[in-house]
Structure 1
Amino acid sequence: MEKRYSTLLTPLFAVPFLLSGCGTGGTTSTPASGDSESGVSDGVVTVDFFNQKPEITAQLEELADMYSEETDGNTRVTITTVGSGEGSAGLQARFSSGDEPALMMLGGLPEVERYSDSLIDVSELEVTDTLIDGTLEGGTIDGVPLGIPLNLEGFGWMYNREIFEEAGIDPDSIQSYDDFAEAVETLDSQKEELGIDEVFAFSGGENYIANQFSANFTSPEFNESIIESYEATELNWEYGDQMKKYTDLFNQYNVQPILTVDYSRSVEELFVNDKVAMVHQGIWIVPTLNDIDPSFAKEKLGLLPVYGESDTEGKIIAGAPFYIGVNKNLDDAVVEEAKNFLDWMYTSEEGKEMITGDLDFVPAQKGYEPEDISDPVSQELYRALLAGETGAMTHKQYPDGWFQQVLYPEYQKYLNGDQTWEDFETNTAEAFKEMR
C-alpha cells in the first residue's frame, strides 16, 4: 500500500492518511491492555503481531485463529493494528514502553534499520527459500535479511482496455515511448467519439503521485536497486530527459488545472466512469474500483510500463510495501512460535489460499499460478516480477522529507509553467544531497 499525502500548494504541511482502497480510520483493532503482550502463560504462547495495514486486520485475525487451531490452542496470535500514518510512531511507542511485539510490519529500509538490532536473520525461515529473486532486498541491512516481504505492489500507467479497443489501439503494440505517444495522440483525436474528457487524469494535486512517478526514472539511475538508492548520497537525474518528455506529454493531454486533480477526482470520478483513458497509479486502486464498479478491474483495467531508461526500455515499478520482522528480544518460545506462524502463513495450503483469496495479495513467492491471483493486472504484475521485468521502488528510499518538501513543490512549479526543467533538476538534486 502506498501512503497518500494530499497537498496542493502547501506541501510542507501535508497530513498523511490512507487511500480509500487501503483502509480508513486511525488506531484500530488494538486489544485491551495486556491482551496483546507477547509471552508464555499457563503453557500458552502469545505472539503479538503489530500490523500497519488496517484493511487486512480481519483477514490477519482469521489467520491467527486458524493457526491457533493448528497448534491445538497452544499458541495464540494477537493482531494489534495502528494505521492512518500512525503506525511508525505506534511501533516506537511499543518499544519505548517495553511492550515489544513479536512480529512487526516495517515500512521499508529506514524502519528496518531502526529496529535492526532487535530483528532475527530471516534467512533461517522456510518461507525465505520460496521468495521471488530480489524481493528480500527491501528488508536487508548490511547484507543481512531482516524482514519477509508482506506482499508485492506495482504501478505504472493504468489504462482502460475498453477505451483503447474503441480507439483501435492494441496495447500489446506499445513497445516504445514513441508508440505510447502515438497512442495518446490517437486517443486525443477521438475524444468526442470515445466520450472522454481528456486522455489523462494525472493527479498533480497529490505529492505521493509525483514521488511514485519519479521512481520510473530514478530506478535505472540506481541500477534498479533499493539498497543502492537507499545508500545514494546524490541524485543526478541521469534519466531526467525521459521524465521531462513524459511530463510534457501528459500535461498537454491532462484534465486541467492539473494541480487541482486529486486521487478522488482522478480515480473515483473520472477513470472508473470512463471519462479518461489513463491514470498513473498502482494495483492498490483495485479495491476502490471494485467498490464502485465490480466489473471494472476484471474487464477493463490494464497496466502499461513507463519507458524510463530509454525510449525502448520500459518497466513497471514493483516491490513490497511492508516487511515483516521477527523480534529476537523476547522469550525463546515466543520467538520460535513467531517464526512458525510466519512460515505457516506463507507456506501452508491454508495460508496460501488466504494470500490470493481473502487477502487479495500479489504474492512475493514463486510457485503460484498467475490465474490464481484475483484480477488481470495483478496477474500481469506477478508474471513481470517472475520474469525480472520490473524496476525498484526507489521512491521509498529518498532522504526523509525530500519528496514532500522539495520534489513535489519543485515539480508543481514545472507543471504550472513557473520554472524550467533545468531549474527543477538543479534544485531537487542539490536538496537531495543536502538532506541525505
Structure 2
Amino acid sequence: MQKLKRLLVLLLVIVTPFLLVACKSAKSPSSQTDKKVTINFFNQKPEITSQYQKLIKIYQKKHPNVSIQLTTSGQGGGAAALQSKFSSGEAPDIIMLGGLPEIDRYKDHLLTLKNMSAVKNTLPRLISGGMTENHRLVGVPVDLEAYGWVINKDVFRKAGVDPDSIKNYAEFVQAVKKIDAQKDELGLQGVFGFNGADTNSITSMSAQFTSDYYQNDQVKAFDSKKFPWEKEQRMKQYLHLVKQYSVKPILSVKYDESIQDLFYNGEVAMIPQGNWVIPTLDGLQDNWTKDNMGMLPYFTKDDGTDELLTGSSWYLGISNDNPSHQKIAKDFINWMYSSKEAQDVIINEMRFVPATKNFNTDRLPDDVSKEIYQVGTSKNAITPVHKQYPNGFANEVIGPMVQRYLVGKTSWDNLKKVVSNQYKQLKEVQSGQ
C-alpha cells in the first residue's frame, strides 16, 4: 500500500507541470499574460479628443490589461506630427489618416483590413477612400460628413427666407440678396462668414466643383494629374458672391471666429462648413443646433438633383510595425464600430453620422444628421475629393491663389493657370513620374 502511495505521488509530481502548461495554453489570447500592453492611437481631429478619451476608458475597463495612449495633433499640424512619429521609429498602432496621399505615404507600414468586421458594413462608395493604388484596403472611414453651407435658421426665419424653397443657384442668389437687403435690421456683419484665412476651408470648398467628375472613385481622383475645371464658371460665380456679400476683410476671418463668434451669435446667415461644427456649437449652448442649424448644398447642376457632398475625410488604419499590438488595435476598432455603448458616444457626443449600411436613423439626435445619412446613402450621393489632392496643394497652391483672387491680386485666368500647372507638377513628383 505504501508503495502504491509513493507511486501516485511520483506521478503527480511528473504530470502536474504538464497540466499547468495545458491549462495556460487553453486560455484566451487576451488572458495569456498579466502583462499590460500599451498601444498608441494617433488622432488628427482635436475637437473630438475628449470623446475618444471616454471611449478608451470604457474599453480599458473591459480590458484591464490594455492601455491605449491617445496622441492628438491637428489644425494643420497633424500630417507633420505623424511623419515625425514614423521618422523617429515611433509609429502609432492606430492611425487617423487624411486621404489617399497620406495613405500612399505610409502604405508599406499599413496592415490590410479587408477581413475586419468593422469593414463589412461600411458604405460601399466610401471603401475606395481607404485603399492603396493596388486596391489594398488599409483604412476604415471614421464617419459620414456633409460639406455645404451651414445656415443659421433663426437668421433665415427673421429674413423671411425658407431654405427648403431654394432649389437652384438663381434662387440661392435671390435668398442672399434678400438677406443682404435686411443686413442692418438683422444685425448682420455679412450674409456669409467666409473664413478666408483658412486655406483648408477654401480647399474643401473647391471640392464642390471638382468631385462630380470622378463619380465616387477616390483612387481615380488620386491618380489623376489633372485638376478638373468642368464647373469653373459656377466656382467663379460662387467666389464673386462671397467677395460681395461676406464679412470684410475676407482674409482676416479665421476658422474658429467664423463658427463661434459670427455664426453662433447670428452675425452672419451662413458659413462654408459641414456637420463637424455641431459639437463646437452645442458646446457653447446645449442643443443649440437642434433649432438653429441647417444645411444647404452648393448648386452646381441646377437640374433639381443637387445635394450635399457626403463622404469621409478621415480613415483609421493599423500599423504593421508592431505585430504584437495588431490584434488589440483591430479589436478596439471593431468594438467602436459594433458596440452599442461605443456608438452611443460616437452618435450623441461626437455627433458623428455612421458611415455604415442599414443604420437606424431614429438613433440620430438631430434632423441635420438624419438628412446627411439619407443623402449619403442615396444612389446619387457624391463623395468629395479634396483629400485626394496632392500633398501641399491646399496650403501652398489653391488656398493662397483663391485668397489672392478674393482680394483682387490675381486674375481668374492666372489662378487657373497656376492651379493647373502646380497640381500636375505635384502629382508627378509625388507619384515618382
TM range (shorter): 0.7 to 0.9
Counterpart Cα distance in 1 of 2:386 and 2:279 = 23
CA pair 66-293 structure 1, distance change in 2 beyond 3 A: closer
CA pair 93-307 structure 1, distance change in 2 beyond 3 A: same
Matched, 1:344 2:335: yes
Matched, 1:370 2:361: yes
Q: Is the 2:47–2:280 Cα contact (8 Å) retained in structure 1?
A: no
Match of 1:17 in 2: none
The one-letter code of the counterpart of 1:292 is L
Q: Secondary structure at the match of 2:421?
A: helix
Match of 2:21 in 1: none
CA pair 101-199 structure 1, distance change in 2 beyond 3 A: closer
Match of 1:76 in 2: 66
Number of aligned residue pairs: give it.
Answer: 396
Match of 1:229 in 2: 221
Match of 1:125 in 2: 116
Match of 2:139 in 1: 147
Q: Secondary structure at the match of 1:175?
A: coil
Q: Which residues in structure 2 correspond to 1:24-423 (within 5 Å)?
A: 42=34, 44-71=36-63, 73=64, 75-84=65-74, 85-141=76-132, 142-310=134-302, 312-331=304-323, 334-423=325-414
CA pair 205-407 structure 1, distance change in 2 beyond 3 A: same
Normalised by the length of structure 2, the TM-score is 0.83
The one-letter code of the counterpart of 1:363 is P
Match of 1:37 in 2: none
Shift, 1:145, TM fit: 1.2
CA pair 254-123 structure 1, distance change in 2 beyond 3 A: same
Q: Secondary structure at the match of 1:199?
A: coil
Q: Deviation string for 1:377-400 (max 9, x for gaps)?
A: 233222211224543232222122
Q: Deviation string for 1:211-239 (max 9, x for gaps)?
A: 11111001123334322221111114111
Stretch of structure 1 that moved more, 207-216 or 262-271: 262-271
Q: Is the 1:64–1:76 Cα contact (8 Å) retained in structure 2?
A: no
Q: Secondary structure at the match of 2:308?
A: strand
The one-letter code of the counterpart of 2:265 is N
Counterpart Cα distance in 1 of 2:122 and 2:100 = 18
The one-letter code of the counterpart of 2:367 is P
Q: Which has the higher helix share?
A: 2
Q: Deviation string for 1:105-156 (max 9, x for gaps)?
A: 2222122222222322212011112112212221111212111112232221
Match of 2:3 in 1: none
State, as a whole percentage, how many aligned pairs show the same letter. 36
CA pair 54-252 structure 1, distance change in 2 beyond 3 A: closer
Stretch of structure 1 that moved more, 125-134 or 412-421: 412-421
Q: Which has the larger radius of gyration?
A: 2
**CA RMSD in angstroms, aligned pairs only:** 2.6
Q: Is the 1:135–1:149 Cα contact (8 Å) retained in structure 2?
A: yes
Counterpart Cα distance in 2 of 1:404 and 1:118 = 26
Q: Secondary structure at the match of 2:226?
A: coil
CA pair 104-411 structure 1, distance change in 2 beyond 3 A: closer
Counterpart Cα distance in 1 of 2:358 and 2:44 = 27
CA pair 265-120 structure 1, distance change in 2 beyond 3 A: closer
CA pair 345-362 structure 1, distance change in 2 beyond 3 A: same
CA pair 158-337 structure 1, distance change in 2 beyond 3 A: same
Counterpart Cα distance in 2 of 1:88 and 1:406 = 17
Q: Secondary structure at the match of 2:357?
A: coil
Normalised by the length of structure 1, the TM-score is 0.82
Stretch of structure 1 that moved more, 210-219 or 284-293: 284-293
Provide structure 1 residue ranges, at least 5 long, that are not aligned to the other structure. Answer: 1-39
CA pair 246-88 structure 1, distance change in 2 beyond 3 A: closer
Counterpart Cα distance in 2 of 1:280 and 1:130 = 30
Q: Deviation string for 1:150-193 (max 9, x for gaps)?
A: 22322211111122223332212111111211211222233344
Provide structure 2 residue ranges, at least 5 long, that are not aligned to the other structure. Answer: 1-31, 428-433
Stretch of structure 1 that moved more, 134-143 or 53-62: 53-62
Stretch of structure 1 that moved more, 170-179 or 417-426: 417-426
Counterpart Cα distance in 2 of 1:360 and 1:265 = 21
Counterpart Cα distance in 1 of 2:255 and 2:319 = 36
Q: Which has the higher strand share?
A: 1
Q: Is the 2:167–2:302 Cα contact (8 Å) retained in structure 1?
A: no
Stretch of structure 1 that moved more, 244-253 or 360-369: 360-369
Shift, 1:197, TM fit: 3.2
Q: Secondary structure at the match of 1:135?
A: helix
Match of 2:425 in 1: 434
The one-letter code of the counterpart of 1:120 is L
Q: Secondary structure at the match of 1:306?
A: coil
